[in-house]
Amino acid sequence: MVKIADIEGLFKKYLEENRFECADALYLCAKFGKEKAAEILRIRYKIAAPLTSVLEDVKQLGIDDPSSWSLRTEDTGEYINEAIIRTFERLCLSKLIENIKKKINNLSMVARGILFLVSKIGSSTFKHLDLEEILRLYELIFKEKIGRASLRRVFEELVECGIFQSTDKDYAVPDYFDLLLPELERFLPKIEVSVHWPKSK
C-alpha cells in the first residue's frame, strides 16, 4: 500500500527535475480523473503525455489505476486521491504561482475581467452562478457584451495560464483560488464607482 511519504517523494522528484507538468498531471488526475486531466493538460501544455508518465510512476508505488485512488494510504488512512490533492497544494503552489506570473500578462482584457468578477464576488459564489449570470455581470460592470463562445475561450485562456482548472464552469475555479488572489490583484482592472444624487428641490 502507498504511504504519504511516497506521494510526497513523487511530487518532490517532479519539482527537483523541473517537471512541473507531471506534478500538475498527478494532481489533476486525482481531482478529476484521467479523461478530464488529459483535456486540461492538452490546453495547458499542448500535450497530454505527462499523464502517461505519471500513471507509470504511480504504478511503481503499487497503485495500478486511478480507480484505486479511492483506497486509503497505509500510514494515515487518508484516501489516496485526497492525499495527492493536499500534497500538491502544500508543495507545489509556489511553483504554480511562479508559472502563472510568467503568463498572466498575455491574458486578454476579458479574461482579466472575469478574474476580477471572481475576486470580488468570491470563488465559492462564482461557482454557483450559471453562464448567463456571469455574462450579465460582466456586461453590467464592463459595459461590454460577450457571448457564451467568447466566455468559453476565456475559460480556456485561464486554464492555459494555470489559474482555472477546467473549461466547465462547475470545475473552473480551483479550491486554492483565494491563495492565488494576492498574486493576481495587480494584474486585474481597477473599478471606480461614482454616485451623484440629484439635489432635492
Nearest to 48 by CA among 38, 35, 36: 38
Segment-wise mean pLDDT, segments of 10 residues, the chain, 201 residues: 90 97 96 93 94 93 76 87 94 94 93 95 91 95 94 96 91 90 90 84 67
* pLDDT score recorded for residue 18: 96
Q: Taking the CB of residue 17, how many other CB atoms lie within 10 A of it?
A: 10
* pLDDT score recorded for residue 201: 67
Q: Taking the CB of residue 62, how many other CB atoms lie within 10 A of it?
A: 12
Contact, 131 vs 151, CB < 8 A?
yes
Alpha helices in the chain (DSSP H): 4-16, 20-32, 34-45, 49-60, 80-91, 93-103, 109-121, 123-127, 131-142, 148-161, 169-172, 177-184
Nearest to 89 by CA among 23, 44, 41: 23
Nearest to 66 by CA among 47, 40, 85, 46: 85
* pLDDT score recorded for residue 49: 92
* pLDDT score recorded for residue 193: 80
* pLDDT score recorded for residue 104: 92
Q: What angle do CA 124, 126, 85 make, to 5 degrees?
A: 50
* pLDDT score recorded for residue 36: 93
* pLDDT score recorded for residue 150: 94
Nearest to 163 by CA among 46, 43, 82, 54: 43
Q: Full-prediction pTM beyond 0.85?
A: yes
